[in-house]
Amino acid sequence: MLERQSPVKKEVGDVLLELRDLKKYFPIEKGFLRTVTGHVKAVDGVSFTIHEGETFGLVGESGSGKTTLGRCIVRAISPTSGEIYFRLPDGEEVDIATLPKRELRQVRKHFHMIFQDPYSSLDPRMSVLDIIAEPIRNNKLLSANRDIQDRVRELMSVVGLDIQHLNRYPHAFSGGQRQRIGIARSLAPNPRLIVCDEAVSALDVSIQAQILNLLEDLQAEFNLTFLFIAHDLSVVEHISDRVGVMYVGKLVELADTDSLFADPKHPYTEALLSAVPTTDPEIKMDRIILPGEVANPADPPSGCYFHPRCRYAQDICKTETPKWSEVKPDHFAACHFANELELRGVEDAP
Ligand SMILES: Nc1ncnc2c1ncn2[C@@H]1O[C@H](COP(=O)(O)OP(=O)(O)O)[C@@H](O)[C@H]1O
Ligand code: SF4
Ligand SMILES: [Mg+2]
């Protein structure tokens, strides 16, 4: 178990990334003629900002739309609608959502996404040198082979890899080391924003802690901004300044990490928090078992999407969509009863 500690309050800068009403709908096609019979609303109107140097944690059960959101931000896929403002180093703002291919190529080096399974995202036929050098070559950042090798060595030592292993292949490394290779590769073009999608979820807890520490060190050293995606709240707590909770394509809560953990305002967050292991063995948490599955984003329930699973649901929840509102300063939630409910946070939260 990761030791729970309150995230260090850091100085954060100006807004680096701003999502406005972002949507990604996947068409559902049927039959030979591929008639569109509906849409999977994987991301359905998400808005938030991330400041320079900040770590924004994004959580929610599998299927809530986190990966789709991350892929839209790095424009691995094009969003259906909405805006993704990103500030370039020279201060210019671009909308990644609609940027034409040519200009996209110019700005791609500023953001990068790392994935859960470093093995499947690292080409097994490429040496570590070539894997880390690829973004340098693709972005034409250096041309002389010697300069590229020097830069790769530098990156390897930055992430704690042995530079002697330059010519080895991914299979020769452990899961944690492979994730380090993925991180070195992502750092190669000096990005400003890194989207970490379940980057430590597949690793043993002790290795998880090492990678999280590494990411924090790199953030301080290179002034990186992270969107840190995980289904596990305990991982996010350790590293995030603020946390957003997603359910069926929408944000349901957003707050400072401390505030969200100690005083959740949405019943879904309360249930997720009840599964977070406590560091104090004396404290026994009553885990809230959510009935049923995450709602189907192609056919979500009426009213509050969470109502079929919510222990506090009233009649209004079945018919009316709850409004997104600021329940207390900088703490937002979308629940009809956010002001009234006495929800349980993590007992030993700061
Ligand atoms: N390429 C795709 N085509 C159709 N549906 C998709 C595609 N990618 C994701 N989805 C659907 O979008 C929803 C959200 O998925 P995802 O973003 O992977 O969620 P998470 O990362 O939170 O588990 C799921 O219902 C998933 O099946
Ligand atoms: S609006 Fe109703 S169903 Fe939705 S989370 Fe709040 S109490 Fe539960
Ligand atoms: Mg995912």
Can you give the residue ranges of every domain in the chain? 15-29+39-240, 250-334
Quote the DSSP letter at residue 227: E
Rounded to the nearest whole angstrom, what is the distance from the C-alpha of residue 66 to the centroid of ligand 3? 5
Nearest residue (CA) to ligand 1, atom 1:
26
- Of ligand 1's listed atoms, the one at least distance from the Cα of 297 is 25
- Of ligand 2's listed atoms, the one at least distance from the Cα of 305 is 4
Q: What's the pLDDT band for 1 if we cut at 50, 70, 90?
A: very low
Rounded to the nearest whole angstrom, what is the distance from the C-alpha of residue 229 to the centroid of ligand 3? 8
Contact 254, 241 (CB under 8 A): no
For a mutational test of ligand 1's pocket, the pick from 43, 68, 232, i.e. the residue with the most ligand atoms closer than 8 A to its C-beta, is 68
> pLDDT for 214-234, tens place per residue?
999 999 999 999 999 999 898
The percentage of residues in the chain with a pLDDT greater than 90, rounded to a whole number, is 77
Quote the DSSP letter at residue 184: H
Rounded to the nearest whole angstrom, what is the distance from the C-alpha of residue 7 to the centroid of ligand 3? 24
In the block, residue with structure tokens 């739309």? 65
Assess whether the C-beta atom of 310 lies below 6 angstroms from ligand 2: yes
Assess whether the C-beta atom of 312 lies below 6 angstroms from ligand 2: yes
> pLDDT for 4-37, tens place per residue?
444 455 677 899 999 999 999 999 999 988 999 9
For a mutational test of ligand 2's pocket, the pick from 247, 250, 307, 342, i.e. the residue with the most ligand atoms closer than 8 A to its C-beta, is 307
Q: What is the CATH architecture of 15-29+39-240?
A: 3-Layer(aba) Sandwich (3.40)
pLDDT the model gives residue 271: 95
d(CA 88, CA 328): 32
Among 108-112, 279-283, 308-312, the least confident range: 279-283
Alpha-carbon dihedral angle through residues 161, 165, 166, 168, given to the nearest 10 degrees = -120
Helices vs strands, H then E, count in the chain: 11, 12
Among 108, 269, 264, smallest CA distance to 195 is for 108
What residues pair up with 59 in beta bridges, in sequence order?
A: 230, 245
Which ligand has the minimum distance to the alpha carbon of residue 265? 2
- Of ligand 2's listed atoms, the one at least distance from the Cα of 266 is 5
| Overall average pLDDT of the 238-254 stretch | 96
Rg (CA), the chain: 21
- Of ligand 2's listed atoms, the one at least distance from the Cα of 311 is 8
Among 159, 176, 174, smallest CA distance to 219 is for 159
Assess whether the C-beta atom of 60 lies below 6 angstroms from ligand 2: no
Assess whether the C-beta atom of 303 lies below 6 angstroms from ligand 2: no
pLDDT at 189 over 50: yes
Q: Which two tokens stand for residue 90?
A: 């020279």
- Of ligand 1's listed atoms, the one at least distance from the Cα of 68 is 17
> pLDDT for 146-183, tens place per residue?
999 999 999 999 999 999 999 999 999 998 999 999 99
Contact 60, 51 (CB under 8 A): no
Q: Is 114 helix (H, G, I), strand (E, B) or coil?
A: strand
| Overall average pLDDT of the 90-102 stretch | 95
For a mutational test of ligand 1's pocket, the pick from 23, 25, 26, 252, i.e. the residue with the most ligand atoms closer than 8 A to its C-beta, is 26
